[in-house]
Amino acid sequence: MVIEKICCLGAGYVGGPTCSVIALKCPDIRVTVCDMSVERINQWNSEKLPIYEPGLDEVVQKCRGKNLFFSTDIAKGIREADLIFISVNTPTKLYGNGKGRAADLKYIEGAARMIAELATSNKIVVEKSTVPVKAAEIIMKILRANTKPGVEYQILSNPEFLAEGSAIVDLLEADRVLIGGEDTAEGHEAVKKLCWVYEHWIDTKNILTTNTWSSELSKLAANAFLAQRISSINSLSAVCEATGADVSEVARAVGKDSRIGPKFLEASIGFGGSCFQKDILNLIYLCECLNLPEVAAYWQQVIDLNDYQKTRFTRKVIESLFNTITDKKIAILGFSFKKNTGDTRESPAIHVAKTLLEEGAKLHIYDPKVEHDQIFFELTHPSITSEPELFRKNIQIHNTAYSAIAGTHAIVLCTEWDEFKELDYKKIYDVMMKPAYIFDGRKILDHDSLVNMGFHVQTIGKRLSRTNSLRAQGSQAQP
């Protein structure tokens, strides 16, 4: 059997781009992406897609209506499909056992129950969402406990490694595709069928097959390793600021070692995104359940360091502004958790903005892709403040960086959008209150020339002295 019809439950950041690329590369397969949210599906069927991802519009435009469909008719999607991806959300539990650490599997379970209720023929069910180890077992138990006569299920784990902002390239040129299945003849057969889908564009040597549990754990491990690198370099950024070393130079020297490699060594205000923190918390919870407290404590430190980095940066902003920011106007440049995405989940900008608002600052926020409502939603959420109206009153959202910056005491750069490097900082200096401060949380600006213009500049992992910067610029001016 070849796979003729694929259904994907969940039209989010994972399901949408992944299935769009499958449709692009497999014109012989009909792909239907289903979601319970009518609004989300309407957006996928409109000119303005619900997520911003470079290259996604083109892929969707090429395939939509041909072999790619977005629909709320979940029952039809499930019934017709040979293979079903589960790409629903798996947030961290907010209450009960494992609160704050374990993944909330209610959406996964809901999806499995829908399949069990609606399927009338054999299905390969593939868990695509990042899930805790052994989640496939839950899906398997639900499906097999509710099997109708003549309907058989194979459950596979096929974690997605795409990063937001580069999802399409990551999907088209995946370093590897990982498929885990049951160690039975039927399991192997199902793995082969999913391999066949990816073989439309991925070299077979990059398609790794393994057992289900190894596949699930590999996904958590990959994210934990990546996050650990960021916490490692961020920990050193504090040492650099205290000693006069430059963290970019340290990263360059360390990354030249081919055993270490240069990627993911960019010190920052801390990592964000929907995956890193959630997956490490999952790993920690797993270790605790397995009575491995030392291993749990080891990974907890990656998160603690990330929290420390966000706090350390924000404290620096407040202290530099004479420890008094009540009623001071501060511009926040960038609100998404990284450039090239409109996603704000766990964005470090939220922590920075919340702390500044608690100190009474008036924030002027600009992000090229995040919707205004989304910024208000994040900063007035009950987990952020008990005084949403007060916060709302002190937030103004702008459509350009220039309008956000005019009349402010300080610029706090939270996301590394390219356009922030291109701004006319001479013009900006003139329209800011003096002394004018820039806090570059992403190390992307030309600090020496900013100092030369008269700005007070602070960044991550580098101590900027006015004298050194003027010397670097070859200026004759006295500091």
Q: What residues are annotated to the active site?
A: 275
Distance CA 23, CA 9 (A): 15
By CB under 6 A, residue 15 contacts ligand ADP: yes
By CB under 6 A, residue 445 contacts ligand ADP: no
By CB under 6 A, residue 342 contacts ligand UDX: no
By CB under 6 A, residue 321 contacts ligand ADP: no
Q: Are strands 329-333 and 207-211 parallel, antiparallel or unpaired?
A: unpaired
By CB under 6 A, residue 8 contacts ligand ADP: no
- Decide: 338 and 164 in contact? Cβ < 8 Å: yes
* Nearest Cα residue to 266 out of 416, 428, 465: 416
Exactly one of 338, 362, 364, 443 binds ligand UDX (CB under 6 A); that residue is 338
Distance CA 341, CA 183 (A): 39
Q: How far is the CB of 225 from ligand ADP (least distance, A)?
A: 20
* Nearest Cα residue to 303 out of 228, 201, 251, 197: 228
Exactly one of 196, 201, 213, 264 binds ligand UDX (CB under 6 A); that residue is 264
Tokens, residue 259: 């055993």
Instruction: Output the residue with the shortest Cβ distance to ligand UDX.
Output: 273
Tokens, residue 41: 């599906």
Closer residue to ligand UDX (CB): 107 or 276: 276
By CB under 6 A, residue 74 contacts ligand ADP: yes
By CB under 6 A, residue 355 contacts ligand ADP: no
By CB under 6 A, residue 223 contacts ligand UDX: yes
Q: How far is the CB of 304 from ligand UDX (least distance, A)?
A: 16
By CB under 6 A, residue 163 contacts ligand ADP: no
Q: How far is the CB of 289 from ligand ADP (least distance, A)?
A: 23
Q: Which of residues 75-104 bind ligand UDX (CB under 6 A)?
A: none
Number of residues located near ligand UDX, criterion CB under 6 A: 19
Q: Phi-psi bin for 410: left (phi > 0), alpha (psi -120 to 50), beta?
A: beta
Own/partner contacts of 136-143, CB < 8 Å, gap of 24 or more, are 136/180, 136/212, 136/213, 136/216, 137/212, 138/105, 138/108, 138/109, 138/112, 139/86, 139/108, 139/112, 142/109, 142/112, 142/113, 142/116, 143/112, 143/115, 143/116
* H helices present in 47-184, as ranges: 56-63, 74-80, 106-118, 135-145, 167-172
Exactly one of 7, 14, 202, 332 binds ligand ADP (CB under 6 A); that residue is 14
Q: Which of residues 18-57 bind ligand ADP (CB under 6 A)?
A: 34-37, 40
* H helices present in 45-88, as ranges: 56-63, 74-80
Distance CA 468, CA 464 (A): 7
By CB under 6 A, residue 417 contacts ligand UDX: no
Closer residue to ligand ADP (CB): 87 or 282: 87
Q: How far is the CB of 35 from ligand ADP (least distance, A)?
A: 4
Tokens, residue 302: 């990656």
Binding-site partner at residue 12 among ligand ADP, ligand UDX, none, CB < 5 to 8 Å by type: ligand ADP
Number of residues located near ligand ADP, criterion CB under 6 A: 22
* Nearest Cα residue to 129 out of 10, 272, 241, 26: 10
Binding-site partner at residue 112 among ligand ADP, ligand UDX, none, CB < 5 to 8 Å by type: none
Q: Which of residues 92-121 bind ligand ADP (CB under 6 A)?
A: 107, 110-111, 114
Tokens, residue 119: 């399927």
**Helix %, strand %, coil % for the chain, to 5?**
45, 15, 40
Q: How far is the CB of 147 from ligand ADP (least distance, A)?
A: 19
Distance CA 180, CA 190 (A): 10
Exactly one of 337, 391, 417, 425 binds ligand UDX (CB under 6 A); that residue is 337
* Nearest Cα residue to 22 out of 280, 199, 155, 222: 199
Closer residue to ligand ADP (CB): 10 or 334: 10
Site map 270..299 versus ligand UDX, x via CB under 6 A = -xxx-xx-----------------------
Rg (the chain; Cα; Å): 24
Residues that bind ligand ADP (CB under 6 A): 9-15, 34-37, 40, 74, 87-89, 107, 110-111, 114, 129, 274
Residues that bind ligand UDX (CB under 6 A): 160-164, 223, 226, 230, 264-266, 268, 271-273, 275-276, 337-338
